[in-house]
Amino acid sequence: MNAAPRVLAVIGDLLAAAAPDERGALWHLAEQGRELDANLVRLPPGAEVGEHQEDVLDVLLVVLAGAGSARAGGRDLPLGPGTVLWLPRTSRRALAAGPDGLTYLTVHRRRPGLAIKPPAGAYEGGEGPCMLDRVCPECGRLSQDPAPVFCSRCGERFPER
């Protein structure tokens, strides 16, 4: 791949163009052949990202606006503009936005590619394995977490038990 360096986004412009109540990923890195992933995420005041575990990738989180906290490594870590937080793989973490919301950029190595998934509506027969509740309903990834809340590959929320 011989991609040329270029500006992909201007964060101030992305934030200005987003609706005031828009939450979630406002932008993500989508270039072909890349080895990184990045997401610009905004949480509204009081919103949370439930406790989850990323089993494969380290994640770097950079707070751009607002404030909040991260629960990681058994501690509450304060987050504010300019805070850079390293979330090592296998660490459990949760985020909570403060009264002004929380906007941050995450950067990590690109997730592994293909996953084997049965065709929609396919029935394999037999009894379900005891770990079926740990299989992501969206991408088919088996979570190493015995009580997963979010898929570490695609971010899908697991059904309530």
What DSSP line would sit under 46-76, residue for residue? T-EEEEEE-SS--EEEEEEEEEEEEEETTEE
Contact residues for 23 (Cβ-Cβ < 8 A; gap 6+): 42, 43, 44, 47
**Encoded tokens for 149:** 């809340």
Domain locations along the chain: 11-109, 129-161
Q: Dump pLDDT digits (tens) for 59-99.
A: 999 999 999 999 988 899 999 999 999 999 999 999 999 99
- 100 contacts 45 by C-beta, under 8 angstroms: yes
What is the pLDDT confidence band of residue 14, given thresholds at 50, 70 and 90? very high
Q: Which residue carries 């501690």 as its tokens? A: 75
CATH superfamily ID and name for 11-109: Jelly Rolls (2.60.120.10)
Q: What angle do CA 133, 135, 139 make, to 5 degrees?
A: 145
Q: Are 154 and 113 contacting, i.e. CB atoms less than 8 angstroms apart?
A: no
At 88 the pLDDT is 93
The string of pLDDT tens digits covering residues 112-156 is 554 555 566 554 544 445 667 778 877 777 887 777 887 777 777
- pLDDT the model gives residue 80: 97
Q: Note the pLDDT of residue 127.
A: 42
CB-based burial label for 35 (10 Å; 0-12, 13-18, 19+): exposed
